Every structure is written in structure tokens, then in C-alpha cells.
Amino acid sequence: MSDWLAKYEAQFYAFLDAQEYVDVAHDLAHIARVVKVAKQLALEENADLAVVLPAAYLHDCVSLPKNHPERHLASTLAADKAIGFLASIDYPDEYHHAIHHAIRAHSFSANITPESLEARIVQDADRLDALGAIGIARCMQVSGALNRALYSLDDPFCEVRETDDRRYSIDHFYHKLFRIANSLNTASARREGKKREGIMRDFLAQLRVEIVPR
């Protein structure tokens, strides 16, 4: 990473540290993990870090709870706020449009197709944070905040019924999380996604041993 870009990281972090985070699964720790993965993917995929880095840092500078009626607008609000901040610290404006797009496109609920490699990487890095050990933990965090039960007593693993992740935490694995790895944009992210999915399937296998009568 170039020296001029590294100098901005402290400013990104200070800006984010001053924000208020209302969603327990989209806090400063989440952002730090997305930045870490986005840097690695950018190196592996030969993407422009001048776009990827600020977009990864600022992608959740506006975050709304999962059940908020305007959740689908959060990434656009974040993109607008990010560009205002970047302009205030004199971040080179030739990158602003690409950063804005990468932030808008990262979100599931916004349903915006990423049009650049950099946007695809930021989306991949964010979605990888829904998988693996941290994905399990975040799912439980959100489920607790929304007062969801852990699983259905009648059919814990959705073997004969439709998923209902509004009621059951484990249903969210089948309804959404296990679809992520194959939907990732870059080859590097798909490899990592399958590894993390395997960790989640191992968790469910152990859960089955612990809850299903013999």
C-alpha cells in the first residue's frame, strides 16, 4: 500500500470511532474485519486499494437495524456520508465516484449489482463476515436483539418445512447464509467462503448431536 494512502487510515478510523452504531452486528469490530479481508482480496485480485480501502472502512458509516423499514437505503446514505467526509479531508476526488458505487453496492438489501472489481471486492469482504465462526456469532447477536428462538423444536434443521428466519436463528443458515459462498464475485472470496461455510456446517452437525433425541 502506498505511503499517501496509509496516511489516511488514521483519519478513517477516527471518523468511524466517533459514529454511533445501533446494530450490534455492524459495529467498529465488523468494519475492522471487513477492511482486513478487503485488503487481502484486493492484493489477490490486483484491485485498486485507493478505492477498496476507503470503501471498506466507510461502508457502514450509516447503519440501520435489520428490521428498520428503510434498511434498503442504508448503503446509499452511507455512500453519501462517506463522500462528504472524504471531501472534507481532501481525499483525491478522482476516486470518489468509484468509492460511492462500491459502498452503495455492498448491501444485500440495496440489491445493486457491483460494476467494478473494487465494488465486487468490498461486497465480497462484507459478505464473508456473515460466514465462519464470526458469522455464527453475528447471527446469534442479531437473533438475540430480535428475540428469535434458536431453533424449531419440531424440525430444527428445516428438513421438512419452509425456513422461517423471522422466528428461528438456525433457519437463517438455510434461508440465506449457505447461499453466500457460491454467490461471491471473486475466486479468492469463493475459496474463503467455502472454508467458512464448512465451519458453519460443522457447528450444525455438533448442534444436531446435542439436541436431537437418540
- Out of 33-42, 74-83, 116-125, 128-137, pick the least confident: 74-83
Calculate mean pLDDT across residues 81-108.
95
pLDDT, tens digit, 9 for 90 and up, residues 155-175 = 999 999 999 999 999 999 999
Tell me the average pLDDT of the chain.
Answer: 92
pLDDT of residue 69: 56
The CATH number, out of the four listed (1.10.490.10, 1.10.3210.50, 3.80.30.20, 3.60.15.10), of the domain defined by the range 132-211: 1.10.3210.50
Residue 81 pLDDT exceeds 80: yes
Report whether 1 contacts 49 (CB < 8 A). Answer: yes
> CA angle, 193 as apex, 152 and 9 as ends, to 5°?
115
CATH number for the domain running over 3-116: 1.10.472
HEC sequence for 152-197: CCCCCCCCCCCCCCCCEHHHHHHHCHHHHHHHCCCHHHHHHHHHHH
Query: Where residue 4 falls among pLDDT bands split at 50, 70, 90?
Result: confident
- What is the sign, positive or negative, of the torsion defined by CA atoms of 15, 75, 106, 118? negative
Calculate mean pLDDT across residues 131-143.
95
Residue 191 pLDDT exceeds 70: yes
The percent of residues above 70 in pLDDT, for the chain, comes to 95
Distance, CA of 117 to CA of 122 (rounded, Å): 9
Q: What are the extents of the domains in the chain?
A: 3-116, 132-211
- Asked whether this chain's domains 3-116 and 132-211 adopt the same fold, the reply is no
